[in-house]
Amino acid sequence: MNNPICDLYKHITAQSIIPNNDHDTERGLVSDSSDDEDQTDTWNVEEKLDSISVSNGEQVRESDEELVNEKHSGEKESSSGEQVKEPDEVLINEKHSTEIGLSSDAETLEDEILKDIGLGSIKQEVLHIFKADGPKSAVSYLNENVSMWKNATVRIAVAGKSSVGKSTFINAIRDVNSTDEGSANEGDGETTLVVQEYRHPKNKEIIYCDLPGYGTVTMTRKMFLEKVKLLDYDLFFIFINPVPTEDDQWLTEQLRKVEKKFCFVRAKLDLDIKNHKKMGIAAENVPAEIRRTIFDAVNDMSPVKEDVDIFLISNKNFKIGDMKKLISFIEAKLSSLKFDAFAFCLSSIGKEMIEVTYQRLQNRISSLALMLAWCDYGVLNYCAGEIDLYYHSFGLDSLVDDYRLLNLRHPFSADYIGTLIDRLCEDFPGILKQVVPIYNTVVLYRTYKRFFEQLLDELKDDCCTMIAYTIKKKLLSEETENLQ
């Protein structure tokens, strides 16, 4: 059977093997970071992989005995709650299984696939393709499954009258400051007559479109419909304040006609809470009151009493109000593919959003691991690409100087990603001495899964540390500005 060990083997022989003495699991996948190296390199997969193929060193393990005696810490629970075997233990079991032959591999793999909830609805399909057309076809299918989000375009229309917070929202959700290049002008009160597109800095295919105002002399409803092609958008956020206008209501009718999803968004909740506090009304009662006022207005205007989704948020602080619910609404309305692309750009806007990004990345691991286990070439490229995606999605690839202060587990640099890949290679011990003639697919599958699950958990922790630090730094600079 073909397997990626050929690639890993090439990689191992090309690198001098890092002594294994300190690779305990307390600090995670890699226990130490090389402080002297330039950690600010821009990561380039091709470059790194080129550097991997430079040959030197040939330190190998001495004996089978050494392999079996190697330190391991017994069974371990993966983030999905499943019991995962340590590689050495798996290896020993597999060694036994190679003595009795590899015929059980296919059966064990089938069991493994069927019980893996991470594969979701595709498990039957994958098995069918594997059995009918072999591992190559299964790899193509899985590759498409994990890569398709890259082709997704998400267009979110942001509509509403002037000063309701559209531009501020478009900046905040993209983690763009009002002074940054590509930011939407906040508070200028200039009504735009064209659709203005704002692309996400992390993924240019996530596009927020600031729609022109409607129902004015310069932009009649008819002109609006000519200019704005409603079918071009995945979702519509209609910003309102304090309640929807008749023009907003008219827009919802147009959207219903063409079966486009929309919701009302009411920003500035922070201001409402502040103002109500001054009047002696408890903060926790404010959202319910605002919501009731909006529902009353909607019901008065609309002859058809339909449920409408309303989200109360603060563009100045996404922790306040319904931002998480708004994200769940987006998840429910977008295809899974599009939501992946959307979620991979979310983590930088707050700790609550990190979880969304994390979940979507975690959902990929089973498909990825199975693909790698069946893959017979390009494994290192896939692994590097996945690691790169984690760093990028968690915003950990743009750290410049500050990370040194944060003591992150996996500080970003091209060299460091090479070290992570080295560690993955070390998860296949004994290969150089051919203690095990061949790794079976189940071992590979479990090992890849465990590696990516652990790395993802640790990078999520790094992301939380970084976001907490960024928020603290921002608050400090605001305080300093206020004092001046």
Ligand X SMILES: Nc1nc2c(ncn2[C@@H]2O[C@H](COP(=O)(O)OP(=O)(O)OP(=O)(O)O)[C@@H](O)[C@H]2O)c(=O)[nH]1
CB closer to ligand X out of 245 and 314: 314
* Distance from chain centroid for Cα 231: 27
Subset of residues 137 to 166 that bind Mg ion, contact rule: CB under 5 A: 166
CB closer to Mg ion out of 215 and 385: 215
Decide if residue 254 touches ligand X (CB under 6 A): no
In the numeric block, which tokens belong to residue 321?
């109000």
DSSP states of 116-185: -GGGGGGHHHHHHHHHHH-HHHHHHHHHHHHHGGGG--EEEEEEESTTSSHHHHHHHHTT--TTSTTPPP
Decide if residue 241 touches Mg ion (CB under 5 A): no
CB closer to ligand X out of 239 and 391: 239
CB closer to Mg ion out of 166 and 392: 166
CB atoms within 10 A of CB 289: 12
Per-residue burial over 402-422, b if 16 or more Cβ lie within 10 Å, else e, is ebeeeebbbbbbbebbbbbbb
Decide if residue 315 touches ligand X (CB under 6 A): yes
CB closer to ligand X out of 160 and 395: 160
Q: 257 vs 122, 261, 337, CA distance in Å?
A: 34, 11, 25
Q: How far apart are CA 63 and CA 217, in angstroms?
A: 85
Site string for ligand X, 267-306 (x = CB under 6 A): xx-xx-----------------------------------
Decide if residue 167 touches Mg ion (CB under 5 A): yes
CB closer to Mg ion out of 209 and 235: 209
Decide if residue 314 touches ligand X (CB under 6 A): yes
Rounded least distance, CB 169 to ligand X, Å = 7
Decide if residue 266 touches ligand X (CB under 6 A): no
At residue 463's C-alpha, the angle toward residues 459 and 469, to 5°, is 145
How many residues sit in the footprint of Mg ion (CB under 5 A)?
A: 2
Cβ(162)–Cβ(213) below 8 Å:
yes
CB closer to ligand X out of 173 and 368: 173
In the numeric block, which tokens belong to residue 428?
């296949």
Decide if residue 241 touches ligand X (CB under 6 A): no
CB closer to ligand X out of 237 and 445: 237
What's the 3-state SS for 425-448? HHCCCCCCCCCCCCCCHHHHHHHH
Decide if residue 59 touches ligand X (CB under 6 A): no
Q: How far apart are CA 197 and CA 386, in angstroms?
A: 29
How many residues sit in the footprint of ligand X (CB under 6 A)?
A: 19
Nearest residue to 328 (alpha-carbon basis) of 345, 295, 347, 353: 353
Strand partners, 208: 156, 198
Contact partner at residue 162 from Mg ion, ligand X, none, CB < 5 to 8 Å by partner kind: ligand X
Contact partner at residue 271 from ligand X, Mg ion, none, CB < 5 to 8 Å by partner kind: ligand X
Decide if residue 187 touches ligand X (CB under 6 A): yes
Options 168, 252, 413, 441; binder of ligand X; rule CB under 6 A: 168
Cβ(208)–Cβ(158) below 8 Å:
yes
Decide if residue 477 touches ligand X (CB under 6 A): no
Segment contacting ligand X by CB under 6 A, of 125-133, 136-144, 263-271, 298-306: 263-271
**Which strands sit side by side in the sheet containing 196-199, from one edge to the other?**
196-199, 206-210, 154-160, 235-239, 261-266, 310-312
Rounded least distance, CB 211 to ligand X, Å = 9
Q: Given the rule CB under 5 A, which residues bind Mg ion?
A: 166-167
Q: Under the rule (CB under 6 A), what is the footprint of ligand X?
A: 160, 162-168, 186-187, 189, 191, 267-268, 270-271, 314-316
